[in-house]
Amino acid sequence: MTRFIETFLRALGKPLVKFLFSLGDLTSFLVKAIYHCFVPPFYFKLFIKQVIDIGFYSLPVVGLTTLFAGMVIALQTYSGFSGFKAENVIASVVLISVTRELAPVLSALMVAGRIGAAMAAEIGTMRVTEQIDALVTLSTNPFKYLVSPRLWAGLLVLPLLVLIGDIIGIFGGYIVGVYKLGFNPANYVTATFDDLQVIGIVSGLVKAAVFGFIISMMGCYHGYKSKGGAQGVGNATTNAVVSSSILILIFNYLITELFFSR
């Protein structure tokens, strides 16, 4: 029995210790990364490049995702509420769902798949081919050169993307409401503007900023720590996407709790 308990505890302890080490490692990386975000030199051109990569090139993906999300919500709400003769709430439901949840969360998950993976792969390849070591020997701090521009870009660009996603998603609901379900366009638009709440938009944008930071942080962290050649880079890419997706869902709940719990 004692032996069984010992084996059991050992099996439990090893991954726990490994997890705690990883957590410590991530915290140390996080602190360093944030410190270097505020200490010059700043690489403005690299920041702009990241803004274009994360923001501009993600627009089609985010646009399509939020458009269809808005359309689906309009359709589902109609099918669910039509029995209660409550079609006039559709505009309101679309507005609230898109701005508070669908646009930030779905956009972030799509960007995590697109950008988080690319960041981890790029930085991971630089790590395993000694390009990060080369940066250090060329008197350039890799945190300032590689991590800071990506963190700033993720933090600042995702809210803009989500704001555009909000508009496109609401427009998706409008398309379904007006052209499929036959609502009066003016009434739909009026209902949307009547229910527009600052807190809904703001909470969505705060979420987007946090999610953007998480995506960049996880992409950079897993890429920076990757080792062991092509397989290591592959693992880093997978880990970046999985960990950022999970963290996005966890922080989505926490921020919602912060804004809307009474």
Partner 1 sequence: MTKEIKISIRNLSKAFGKKQVLNGVDLDLYKGESLVVIGGSGTGKSVLIKCIQGLLTPDSGSIKIDDIEIINDHPEIIEKMHSKMGMLFQGGALFDSLMVWENVAFDLLQNRGFSRKEARIVAIKVLRQVGLGEDIADLYPSELSGGMQKRVGLARAVITKPEIIFFDEPTTGLDPIMADVINDLIIESAKDLGATTLTITHDMASARKIADKIAMLYQGKIIWYGTVKELDKTDNPYVRQFIEGSARGPIKVEK
Among 3, 40, 60, 138, binds partner 1 (CB under 8 A): 138
C-alpha to C-alpha distance for 80 and 134, rounded to whole angstroms: 60
The one segment of 136-144, 162-170, 178-186, 205-213 that binds partner 1 by CB under 8 A: 136-144
**SS3 state at 139:** coil
Nearest to partner 1 of 66, 237 (CB atom): 237
Q: How many residues bind partner 1 (CB under 8 A)?
A: 15
Interaction of residue 137 with partner 1, rule CB under 8 A: yes
Nearest to partner 1 of 40, 182 (CB atom): 40
- Least Å distance between CB 95 and partner 1? 42
Tell me how crowded residue 123 is: count the other CB atoms within 10 A of its CB: 26
Give the CB-side neighbour count of residue 5, counting CA atoms within 13 A.
2
The one segment of 137-145, 193-201, 228-236, 249-257 that binds partner 1 by CB under 8 A: 137-145
C-alpha to C-alpha distance for 216 and 153, rounded to whole angstroms: 8
C-alpha to C-alpha distance for 21 and 56, rounded to whole angstroms: 37
- Least Å distance between CB 51 and partner 1? 16
- Least Å distance between CB 232 and partner 1? 15
Among 18, 133, 194, 258, binds partner 1 (CB under 8 A): 133
By CB under 8 A, the residues from 145 to 164 that bind partner 1 are 145
- CA-nearest of 217, 206, 175 to 101 is 206
Interaction of residue 140 with partner 1, rule CB under 8 A: yes
Interaction of residue 92 with partner 1, rule CB under 8 A: no
Residues in contact with 23: Cβ distance below 8 Å, sequence separation at least 6, in sequence order: none
C-alpha to C-alpha distance for 198 and 95, rounded to whole angstroms: 12
